[in-house]
Structure 1
Amino acid sequence: MATYNPIRDMERFADALLEGSTRGPRRMPMDLYRDGDNYLLTADMPGMDPGSVDIDIDGQLLTIRAERTLPKAENVKWITRERTPGSFLRQLNLGQGIDTERITANYDNGVLSVTIPVSERAKPRKVQVSTGAPAGVDSSEVVVSEA
C-alpha cells in the first residue's frame, strides 16, 4: 500500500504548472548534434505509439508531433498515476544549408532518431589556388599604378 507523500504531490503540481496546461502539447527532451555531414536529433518519447509520431517539414521548419494515450480502465482505483496522456510537440528552424529532401527518421525503444543531412552547397570545400594571370587576362595588358 502506498503512503501519502505531500512533497511528491507538490512536485507534480509544480511540474504541471511549468509544463503549461495538461491539455496542451508538451515538449519532449531531445539532443541535437552534428556528426560529419549530418545533424542527428534524438528525442525521448517513451510510451508513444509509433503510429502517432508525425514529422512534417514546411520550408525550413521541422515539426515533430506525437500522442501518448493510456488504456481506459473502468472500476479501477488508482494508487498512483504519473504517466499522463497527451500530445507532445517540438519545432526546429532548420535554417539554410540543410538537404530537407533526404531527412530520415527511426523510432526504436521509445527514442526517435532523426538524421538531417547537410546540403552539398553548405559542406566545407577547398578552393584551388592557381598562379599566374587569371584565365582570359593578357598579362601584357595589366597596368600597375603606384600611389
Structure 2
Amino acid sequence: MTLMRFDPFRELDRLAEQALHTGARALRSMPMEALRRGDEFLIFLDLPGVLPDDVDVTVERNVVSIRATRAPQRQEGDEVIVDERPYGQFARQLFLGENLDPGRLSADLENGVLNLRIPVSEQSKPRRVPLGGQPTATTADTSGAGASDTANQQSTEQSTTV
C-alpha cells in the first residue's frame, strides 16, 4: 500500500468533532485528492486564500505533516456583517508506504492548491531480473527428444532454485 487511506486517530478526531461541534469540521477541512501517475504520487490539497509563507510541509520518516494558517481579512474597527470563511489553523498528516521516497518529496502552492509530488522509491519500481546461469542450448545431442527432456529438466530446476 502506498498511502494509508485510514488513520484511526484522525477518524476518532473527526467523529468527536462531529458529535461535539456540528459544522466545525467543515470549517477546518483540507480537502485532498491523491493519485498515482507513472512513477510518482500526486497529492492535491485545497488551501484557498492561504499564502505560501503560511504553509508548512514537513517530512519525518514516512509521515508528511501539512500545517496552514489563514487569518481573517477584517481589521480593527471593521463591522462584520457575515463571516462564513474558515480561518485559523489547518492540519493534515499523510502516512506514506515504504515504497515511496519522502526524501525527494516536492511541494508547490498554486492557485490555492498545495501540490505534493512523491516519487516511488527506486527499490520499489518494477525491474526486469535477468536469468543468470541458464545453460545455452547445444547441438551435441542430435536426438530431438533427449534435448527437449534435458531442457525441461533444467527449466524445472531453475524455477525451484529461484
| TM-score normalised by L of structure 1 | 0.71
- Match of residue 121 from structure 1: 123
Q: Where do 4+ consecutive residues of structure 1 move more than 4 Å?
A: none
Pick from 72, 76, 83 the counterpart of residue 74 of structure 2. Answer: 72
Partner-residue secondary structure (3-state), 2:107: strand
Of 29-38 and 64-73, deviating more is 64-73
- Match of residue 132 from structure 1: 135
Pick from 75, 87, 90 the counterpart of residue 89 of structure 2. Answer: 87
Partner-residue secondary structure (3-state), 2:75: coil
Partner-residue secondary structure (3-state), 1:14: coil
- Match of residue 108 from structure 1: 110
What root-mean-square deviation, in Å, do the aligned CA atoms of Structure 1 and Structure 2 show?
2.4
Output one character per residue of 1:55-91: Cα deviation in whole Å (capped at 9) or x when no partner. 1111111101100011332333322111132111110
> 1:43-82 to 2 correspondence within 5 Å?
43-82=45-84
CA distance in 1, matches of 2:29, 2:61: 22
Of 114-123 and 69-78, deviating more is 69-78
Q: Are 1:15 and 2:18 matched, yes or no? A: no
Give the counterpart letter for 1:15 in structure 2: G
CA distance in 1, matches of 2:73, 2:79: 14
CA distance in 2, matches of 1:126, 1:84: 50
Partner-residue secondary structure (3-state), 2:22: helix
Give the counterpart letter for 1:87 in structure 2: Q
Point out the structure with the larger helix share.
Answer: 2
| TM-score normalised by L of structure 2 | 0.65
Identity across the alignment (%): 40
How many equivalent residue pairs?
117
